Each structure stands twice: as C-alpha cells, then as structure tokens.
Amino acid sequence: MLQLSATERAMAEGAAGPARAMALRIVADTARMLGANRLVPIASAHIDGCLYHGDSGTLFAERLVAEGGAVAVPTTLNVGALDLLHAGRVRLEPPREAMARRMMDAYRALGCLATWTCAPYQAGHRPALGQHVAWGESNAVVFCNSVLGARTERYGDFLDICAALCARAPETGLHLAANRRAALAVDCSALDAALVREEAFWPVLGAWLGMVAGARVAVFMGLPAAAIEEDRLKAMGAAAASTGAVGLFHIEGVTPEDPAVMPGHDSLSLVPAMLHEARDRLSTTVVRVGEAVDAVAVGSPHFSLKEFRRLFGLLAGRKPAIPFYVCTGRHTLDALQAEGLAPVLADSGLTVVADTCIVVTPILPPSGGLLLTNSGKFAHYVRPNTGRDVLYGSLGDCVATAVAGRLVRDEGLWR
C-alpha cells in the first residue's frame, strides 16, 4: 500500500498550490496502480509530453500554467513539433501549428529549459550515478539508465511533467536495485572484431536486443571496451528502445553499474547470423546497389558534435545530389558555431532540422519515396510515421549515396 509522507500529503491537499496538488495526486495514483509502496524524490526530469499530438496535451499544459505550476527540479524538454530555428521547415496546417506553438510556450512558462532535444545528455543534462530522475523519451531513458547509471522508469506523456512539478516519482520498476539486474546474459565473443569496430554495428545490436529482450535487462559480455564511444551506446540504446521496450542494458567493463544477473537468468551466444537478420529487418524493401534513393536522413537520436565532424570529413567538400536531412539540437548548432564550423555547415548542402525530427512532424515532402538512414530508430519509425520505405546503412553509405544520388552500400562486413 502506498504511504505518503506528511509533506506529500500536504502537497496533495494544496499546500504548494493547485498545480502541484494535481501533479502529486496523478503521480500518487499512478504509483498505487503500479503497486509502489512510496514515492521517491527525483533530482531532475526530461519531458516527452511537449510534442504536440492533439489539443488535449496543449490544454493540459496550459492548465498547469494557469494554476501557477512550476517545475521543482531542473527539467529539460524533448523535441517539439516545430523547428523554431528554421521557419517553414515544418508543414503543419495553421491551426495545428498554433496549438503546437502554444504547447511549447506553456512548457517554457512552467520553467522547463528550452532544449528541444531527444538527447538531453548531449546538452549538459547528465544526472549522477544512482540519482533518481523522471525522464521521458525512450532513447533518453535507456541512455540515462545504462550509460549514466542514474535511475528512471519509462515516463510517458504527461506523467513526466507531473513528476517534475512535485519532484516525486513512483518507487517502482528501474528505480529499484533488484529490477536493474540482468535477466539475459549475452556472450559476444563469437563476433568478428572488425564488425564490432564499425559504427553501423551498434544500431543493429540495439535492434537485435529490442527484438529479443523486450523489456528485460540484458548484460553483454565479450565486447571490447575500446570500441565503444558514447555515440555508439546512444545509437544502440535508441534502437533497442524502439524495436523493444528496453530501458536498461549493461556492457561488462563499459557501463557504470555492476552487471549482476538474476537467479534463473537466460543466456545465449550472439552469432553473426542473428545480427544479419536484425540488420535486414531494419529495411522495409530490397533495393540493389546503383538504384535510385530519394533522400537520406540521420540524427535520431539527435546528431552530436562528433558526428558532425565525421560527416564533414566524409563529405570532404562534396555536395549531396539528393535531400540530406540532419536532425540535431540547438546546443549542437551552438557548439558548431563555437568551433568555427558553422560556415562549413552552411556550405555543405545539408538540410538541418533543429528542435524536432522528420518522423514526429511533417518535414519530408509528401510525395513519398525511399529514404536511407544510419539510425536504427529512424529505420523503425520511418515507414509507419511517414509512409516511405526505408533502407539501413552506415554513415559512410549515407554520404556516398547522397553524393551519387543512387544507392551505395558496403555489404562486405555483413557477409
């Protein structure tokens, strides 16, 4: 049975104002449904509910503002439905655009930081090991739990903002140490070391994990720590949280928590054929090398500064012959400016999307076609969200294809 502290009971009764009272009651009722015994104080929040899906979400946020609501902990914002930095990038009908803008304004009025990114950990929001937080957005959740070692459950719209207002979350799920132990142990020692070194390997590994593990916690053994940069862990977690419901994974010798396993856990050996199948499932059609591709998109999760540097190096001054969309956060654009790379970006021929991305709001031309991406998350969502067919490839494949205007894809490693 849920036990509230005296402070929490007072908050629910209105001691901190009507907005926080409603927020606390919603969090408490959710905790009761989940079987939690108490609420846990949180250090920060990341809000997924700021993405416009309908008028009710806007009206809920505006009600919190009208009732004097303000976040009680540092709170960042996920992508919205508008690119506030590039006018005309999003093709929403005027009434929907107005409601989306009102929603974004309301969340800022609640005291949230206008980060507008699905990768808040790239924008300086990095809770400490073991800290309890309330994060929404699937890739952010898995990165927070796995790479940072902070503790959050998968908070959805609008429970996330309620947690931010009352600085509490249900003490259940991945907030509890017992639930962070691995139920699945994966031996990777049979994998080709050359494949593991490739950046294209990591989204495929994540996609495989989501398909096999569902919501279970897994621990990977036998992966070389030297090969795993943060962007690769980001890509892996995003794919795993898209193809499944993964909220936490461990990699022995890499991620910060002790990768203990549960009694009776499952074990398996990962072999190349499993990854080949997972990689093929990220594409919705079969296209031969040399055939036409209509567009390229990268940046889900949002493209980082390091990824931009690599992209510029691969382009080497060449211009795309087809549309090449790069979704990123405004913090990364600021970093490019600080490094003197803004002129390179301006002259690159790339179409930059900030504050949002191509699968959550209408940005791509409505004519349809075939899109190539290096993102496991984009690969999962492009077809259902945009109606386009999608192909998965490496960042090198994306650049070579964009420059040639036809599919260029290296199949060597996957054989």
Which secondary-structure segment (H or E) carries 238?
helix 230-243
Could you tell me the domains of the chain? 6-178 (3.30.499), 181-281 (no CATH), 295-404 (3.30.499.10)
Query: What pLDDT was estimated at residue 344?
Result: 98
* Residues 383, 385, 388, 394, CA torsion sign: negative
Query: What pLDDT was estimated at residue 237?
Result: 98
In whole angstroms, give the CA distance from residue 359 to residue 375. Answer: 12
Query: What pLDDT was estimated at residue 37?
Result: 97
Residue pLDDT, tens place only, 278-287 = 999 999 999 9
Q: Which residues contact 46 (CB under 8 A, 6 or more apart)?
A: 75, 76, 77, 78, 120, 125, 133, 134, 135, 136, 137, 140, 144, 160
Q: Give 207: exposed, middle or buried? Use CB within 10 Å, 0-12, 13-18, 19+.
A: buried
Query: What pLDDT was estimated at residue 227?
Result: 67
Q: State in Å, rounded, how far the first CA of the chain is from the last one.
A: 55
CA of 103: how far to CAs of 52, 158, 280, 284, 315, in Å? 7, 12, 38, 34, 37
- Residue 214 sits at the vertex; the CA angle it makes with 326 and 246, to the nearest 5 degrees, is 50
- Strand, helix or coil for residue 59: helix
Sort strands 295-303 and 218-221 into parallel, antiparallel or unpaired: unpaired
Catalogue the long-range contacts made by 54-58 (C-beta closer than 8 Å, 24 or more residues apart). 55/99, 57/103, 57/157, 57/158, 58/99, 58/100, 58/102, 58/103, 58/106
Regions in the chain scoring below 70 on pLDDT: 227, 415
Largest pairwise CA distance in the chain: 68
* pTM, entire model: 0.97
89-114 residues labelled b (16+ CB within 10 A) or e (exposed): bbebeeebbebbbebbebbeebbbbb
Of 160, 151, 138, nearest to 61 by C-alpha is 160
